[in-house]
Structure 1
Amino acid sequence: MIKFPIIRVITKLLIPYILLFAFYVQFHGDYGPGGGFQAGVIFASALILYGLVFGLDAIKRVAPPIVIEKLMAVGVLVYAGTGFATMMLGGNFLDYDVLEHSFNHKYLPGGQHLGIFLVEVGVGITVTSVMTMIFYAFASRSRFV
């Protein structure tokens, strides 16, 4: 893509807005249907666009595969950890009502809102990292284990 400077400049201009929109969808997704999956795909699309335009080595410097592998596990742990936390507090798996009484703090959202937010963050992290790792696998034509 060195021969196409306009594409490189436009990409550098667009990526911050794509990431901003991904964060908007993530943090406002719990008010509508979903949010974590959509935000994860949008965030990953910014990373993939960067990789397509600037090359695989450039994207691996920005988001190293080892970090992406760790983020896949972190996202699942956030999701599952929210469910196990509700079980430890006396409710069922992902029963957000128990969070209402356990985290009664004036700066933290309560109950349903906190539980859904944590689950959506876990989904967003997982989807972003999995989509990015799929791009790495296809772009390098090798297997990351």
Structure 2
Amino acid sequence: MRRQEESPIILLGSRLLSPYIMLFGLYVIFFGHYSPGGGFQGGTLLAASILLIRLSGGRRVSRLQIQEFATTPLAVTGVIIYFLTGLAAMATGGYFLDYEQLPFLTMEPAYMRYWGILIIEVGIGLAVMAILVMIYDNMVKGEDYA
């Protein structure tokens, strides 16, 4: 990869735009079970906001965000959230991801499904975001970029 000069205009524009992309990504995750979207789409938007800063600012600015060593634990945490929710339902006699059987939710079945799906979407969003950032970090490893 060719070393490029930093552009303060591009860096400023991406730093102004990135929080709005991240906020929209969180909206897509948290309201994905009511409208189009969900964990995968929201996680992709979260990763896009992080990668926008990494592309425009280079290595110096990307050190201020999620560090390379933290992406793997974040991805594993997202997968663990997903599977523990499913296994918790199985532990109480239900099927995998049977939200009405979740032991830590004691309310009407409609609300239990709501919260169960939300927990799953958060886990998926976290895992997708971390894995996409990890893919980018592995692709540019060893490259000489700003």
TM-score, with structure 1 as normaliser: 0.86
- The structure, 1 or 2, with the larger RCO (C-alpha pairs under 8 Å, 6+ apart) is 2
Which position in structure 2 is the counterpart of 1:110? 111
Query: Which runs of 5 or more residues in structure 2 are unaligned?
Result: none
User: What is the percentage of aligned positions where both structures have the same residue?
Assistant: 36
What SS class does the counterpart of residue 53 from structure 1 fall into? Answer: helix
* Mapping 1:1-145, distance limit 5 Å: 2-99=5-102, 103-104=105-106, 110-141=111-142
Paired AA for residue 92 in structure 1: Y
Alpha-carbon distance in 1 for matches of 2:53, 2:65: 9
Paired AA for residue 93 in structure 2: G
Q: Mean alpha-carbon deviation: is it higher for 3-12 or for 130-139?
A: 3-12
Deviations for 1:81-119, whole angstroms, at most 9, x for unmatched residues?
0000101121011111213x752259xx83211111111
TM-score, with structure 2 as normaliser: 0.86
Alpha-carbon distance in 2 for matches of 1:62, 1:110: 35
Paired AA for residue 99 in structure 2: Y
Q: Give the aligned length.
A: 139
Alpha-carbon distance in 2 for matches of 1:72, 1:112: 24
Query: Which runs of 5 or more residues in structure 1 are unaligned?
Result: none
